[in-house]
Amino acid sequence: MGYCKHLLDNLKSRLLLLTLLTILLGGVEAGVEADYRGTLKSDIDAIIDSPSTPAAVWGVRIEDSESGEVVYSRNGDTPFIPASVTKLITTAVALDHLGPDYTFTTHLQFPVNGDLYIIGGGDPTLGTAEGAGGRSFLDGWAEQLAKQGVDRVKGDIVGVDALFVEEPQGAGWAWDDASYPFAAQPSALTVNGGTVSYVIDKNRKQRLKKSQVHLYPKSEYMEVVTQTTAEKSRLHIRRKQGSNQFVVEMPEKMRKNPKLSGKVTVDNPTLYTATLFREALERAGVKVEGEARDGDEIGSRQISNNSDATLVWTHHSKPLKEILPLANKRSINLVAENILRATGVRRGRAGEIKRAGSVARGVKTVDRFMAERNIKPYRYKQVDGSGLSRYNLFRPADIVSVLRSMQSHPQAKVFHNSLSRAGHDGTLRWRFNETPLEGRVWGKTGTLSAVRAVAGYLKTPKGRELTFAIMANNYPFGSRKIRNRIDSILLKSAEWADRSQKIK
């Protein structure tokens, strides 16, 4: 009995010792993790507060994707201008509201009082290389009509854009951006991304001539104008505000210029589409007696609901899941703008328009989406779909909340695949190359004058996942330095994540 008691006492002593060691080691582990956390905070603070970092207002929120634990925050609950990071909200709402297989449909109706109607369905990819049918979409339609025996249209070619409220420029968009392709006018009926491409021939010894300015697609819609300017060294290219004049301004004494190419926007994409289709019909041998017209001139809502119209065919866009990357990877503003408006459209049982899409109605859909995630309306402000407006305001913490909610969404994979991947594609193509995060960051960048931002997900080399939103506003110079500091913050965060906790 004495020997058994001795063994029992010895066992109790060992259990007590083991318990004490566990507590001690747990405290050490907690202390180490706390130390690592303190190191992360000091490291990121040092990056932001360094004298070599341009003065800016920073908003940062980084959370553990699985637990939601905040690993770093700086002004995370303060509203910032997000620029194109806004597209994350727009696309998440569209995917949730419309679904991944939603398609934009464009209808051709003929004849109606001799007119031929193109009824827009809000497709931002119509007549683009990425759209169904490609750039030659309108020529394809015209050739099919000719093959079916149509040799004459006795009326007009009418473009109908009643699906969306007419809002050619977003609230807070800079007026002097209007001719740049990133500010293309949203419309329910648009082709070529609402733009015209140009090529200007190279000169060595003579003044640029009007005949050396080439616009594509070739059309009578835009007029080329050349004029001189007091500028001494380079050409200025723009679309004249409120018109469809393609203006090339050249210095009085300039006798040589490089070959130049690019794009400018068109005014009234609906009329532009109707004009291009009229010209395509003529090339296909179909005589058009009337003119190209915008349906707004004759009541486009009445046209779209006209039961006397004969539906020739319906063109479907690619599904939304294939269009979203154009917004998130390539940051095409027109895509995001039309997607937001599409979420605000309401139709009747017969497909008739009950409520046209608009920014305001799209934002109401955003509000419902945010409310479902317990994000109150007073915490953010969204006024467009693309982030081109400086009136947009979002808090880093709320962007992270939306991103984390999308990880458990039924369409999580579709959303994730729409994002740019570091070192691989999109606007992150040239970032994090030859670093531990190459191919391990998926996100959306944001860029405006004095605004740089990025938000998304990162997966560390050891497999831990973080969700982040980083925004820098109000800096007077040093955009590249700001961008590099953002990348340094994410690299430090990944390093900390792999050192601080056990990988599950």
Residue 33: pLDDT over 60: no
Task: Yes or no: say if 324 and 418 are a contact pair by the CB < 8 Å rule.
Answer: yes
29 pLDDT band, cuts 50/70/90, is very low
Least confident of 67-81, 116-130, 301-315, 445-459: 301-315
What does the pLDDT average to over 459-480? 97
Q: What is the pLDDT of residue 503?
A: 41
Residue 228: pLDDT over 90: no
Q: Which of 457, 409, 469, 445 is nearest to 328 (CA)?
A: 445
- Quick check: helix, strand or coil at residue 462? coil
Instruction: Identify the residue with better confidence: 38 or 8.
Output: 38
Residue 38: pLDDT over 80: no
14 pLDDT band, cuts 50/70/90, is low
Count Cα atoms within 13 angstroms, Cβ side, for 441.
Answer: 31
Distance CA 143, CA 411 (A): 39
Estimate to the nearest angstrom the gap between the alpha carbon of 391 and the chain centroid: 16
**Count of H helices and E strands in the chain?**
11, 21
Q: What is the pLDDT of residue 2?
A: 52
Distance CA 323, CA 341 (A): 15
DSSP letter for 208, please.
P
Query: Which percentage of the chain shows pLDDT scores above 90?
Result: 79
110 pLDDT band, cuts 50/70/90, is confident
Backbone torsions φ then ψ of 272, nearest 5 degrees: -60, -45
Distance CA 331, CA 6 (A): 75
What does the pLDDT average to over 114-134? 95
Backbone torsions φ then ψ of 309, nearest 5 degrees: -75, 145
Distance CA 250, CA 442 (A): 43
Extract the tokens encoding 413. Answer: 């994979």
Rg of the chain over Cα atoms, rounded to whole angstroms, equals 29
Least confident of 161-170, 213-222, 307-316: 307-316
35 pLDDT band, cuts 50/70/90, is low
Domain with CATH 3.40.710.10 in the chain: 40-98+357-499
Instruction: Identify the residue with better confidence: 453 or 500.
Output: 453
Residue 8: pLDDT over 50: no
CA dihedral sign, ordered 343, 349, 351, 352:
negative
Distance CA 288, CA 279 (A): 9
Extract the tokens encoding 364. Answer: 């109401």
Task: Yes or no: say if 161 and 187 are a contact pair by the CB < 8 Å rule.
Answer: yes
CATH number of 40-98+357-499: 3.40.710.10
Extract the tokens encoding 468. Answer: 């982040």
Q: 480 burial class (0-12, 13-18, 19+ CB within 10 angstroms)?
A: exposed
What does the pLDDT average to over 195-207? 92
Distance CA 332, CA 16 (A): 65
Residue 330: pLDDT over 70: yes
Residue 456: pLDDT over 70: yes
DSSP H or E run through 326: helix 320-328
Q: Which of 393, 317, 371 is nearest to 127 (CA)?
A: 317
Task: Yes or no: say if 272 and 190 are a contact pair by the CB < 8 Å rule.
Answer: yes
Q: What is the pLDDT of residue 222?
A: 96
23 pLDDT band, cuts 50/70/90, is very low
